[in-house]
Chains A and B, each alone.
Chain A
């Protein structure tokens, strides 16, 4: 019987600063750790603590994983001080990941906010791995300021003729910013997709998720077609420690991606 509380060592291959408080870490686990897009792992600083993060890299590559991490608390602060060659711990993957099978043959409407683009980047790679399976892919992304946009160079490569489009916005512009200014809810354009045959996938801070979900429902997405990445306190990853429960589910085991339909009736889902 495997010990579900034991981490596997992984070496940091490189660290890239995305924004003043977000870094992307490329790590190589001692043994390959495959994952399905949307599944997460517990990343630990040996002897100091761990936290749940969804790989932002291509799920095709099990030997090298990327994690894009915002410095918000004790462990992320220590991680931000780590360098190439340092050792972290990994447990997982955990959760169900994105329901790619249910996305087949549909238009995919992605809405990301802030560092919430990290799991979505892995999803975008997975969709691009098998482009024939999906119809149009519309990527909407909002950051607080132009400096807070992550994957700056890469996002520009995502729009591909006829297949995928990208809409960017920032809450607060700058002198150099020529793009859209406004909350991400103001750029959601569904005119090019077939609403009857589309799914929406949302990941971002709780307040953004809440208003985007309400907006998507208002535009006409069915509640069962809105996929939400729930940010909860996922500690054990195995549905045992009890912290991340949402109604009859554990975010770590049954999620962290849920349809709005599945969780809308439970109290406090947006907090």
Chain B
């Protein structure tokens, strides 16, 4: 156990990133308009990146599938793939990769573009120590700090970070840069647990105050709500079908394939799709299983809380709150779930 914990000073961490940036693209959050956004790490820049705090506005999936990418064999995408390091990814996004991995790399046929990106990526995650009004991961039994799914995880500790090694890739990173890390003693690891508990408790109070339903209560509730059309019509009444909830969601994975001709080139593209769009399920003959907007909104919840629970045993929702935050119709995922759990 003990061997997996280190400390690294802020200066040393940036030294490490500068060194890694020679052969990898490093993405790291910066603060803009009170939110965190990922930018490519600039080794020359002032060190005002924000590694800790809270999830970024971009979902982690955007580092593994592009909103639009070419996927035919002639694209050459696979050969061009560069190594990337993601710094400051938060627990909700780590959890979301379980869904993306299931879809694109664990079920046959595997998506070679996703698999390659995943292989070429190093994840240096970080615990949360700040919360948005929209955060509710703990209601879904997801902690605001990751236990698995990272190569290295950081916990802010004064100006330094406590480092946990989570994979062979992470182990190699520490071993190759030994001089930058110091072994963490047990008291530091203990203090990390205390800090984690205390932050988790503040999230728990937010969840309690807002009466956000817990995972156990949500289980099966969307299925029970199928026939309550009024409920879904009510929540869909302010939806403008922008697809924002789909695109910012870290677990939403749906895409469409399109073929294009440019000059003599015949290319196939894979682009993010959104199940709120009216033509999402429509077939060429015009039949549409979800012609009504309320049916599409219900479908989104069905996919997240029934389908993935049934096929994988987890919700395709990590409580990151991005959908609630971006929705111009002010549809709050927690309020929807508060209603579904009342359905008999």
Binding site for B on A (CB under 8 A): 1-7, 44-51, 70, 72-76, 205-206, 231-233, 235-236, 238-245, 247-248, 267-269, 271
Contact = CB atoms under 8 A, between A and B. Distances in A.
Interface of B: 71-73, 103-104, 107-112, 115, 226, 253-261, 265-268, 270, 273, 275, 280-291, 295, 298-299, 303, 306-307, 310-311
B71 A241 contact: no
Nearest to A48: B259
Contact of B285 (A7, A49, A73, A240): A73
Given A1-B110, A3-B71, A243 B256 contact: yes
In the A-B complex, the 6 residue pairs with the closest CB atoms: A73-B284, A242-B254, A47-B266, A47-B261, A4-B109, A5-B71
A271 B285 contact: no
B276 to A, nearest CB: 12
The DSSP consensus for interface residues of chain A is: loop
Contacts of A6: 71-73, 268
Contacts of B266: 46-47
Which of A7, A47, A236, A242 has the most chain B CB atoms inside 10 A of its CB?
Answer: A242
Contacts of A44: 259
B107 A239 contact: yes
A5 B280 CA distance: 19
Contact of A233 (B71, B72, B260, B283): B283
Contacts of A248: 306-307, 310-311
Contacts of A243: 254, 256, 273, 280-281
Nearest to B73: A6
5 contacts: A3-B112, A6-B71, A74-B284, A231-B285, A271-B291
Nearest to B268: A5
A5 B110 CA distance: 10
Which of B107, B268, B303, B306 has the most chain A CB atoms inside 10 A of its CB?
Answer: B268
B111 A240 contact: yes
A2 B280 CA distance: 27
A242 B275 contact: yes
Given A243-B256, A267-B295, A3 B226 contact: no
Contacts of B281: 232-233, 243-244
Nearest to B282: A233
A30 to B, nearest CB: 13
Nearest to B229: A267
Contacts of B256: 235, 241, 243
A44 B268 CA distance: 11
Given A245-B307, A267-B295, A240 B112 contact: no
Given A5-B72, A5-B268, A240 B303 contact: no
Contacts of A74: 284
A241 to B, nearest CB: 5
Given A47-B259, A240-B253, 17 more contacts: A5-B257, A5-B268, A6-B71, A45-B259, A47-B265, A48-B261, A50-B257, A72-B286, A74-B284, A231-B283, A232-B283, A238-B108, A243-B254, A245-B307, A248-B310, A267-B295, A268-B290
Which of A233, A239, A244 has the most chain B CB atoms inside 10 A of its CB?
Answer: A233
B208 to A, nearest CB: 33
A17 B85 CA distance: 57
A235 B283 contact: no
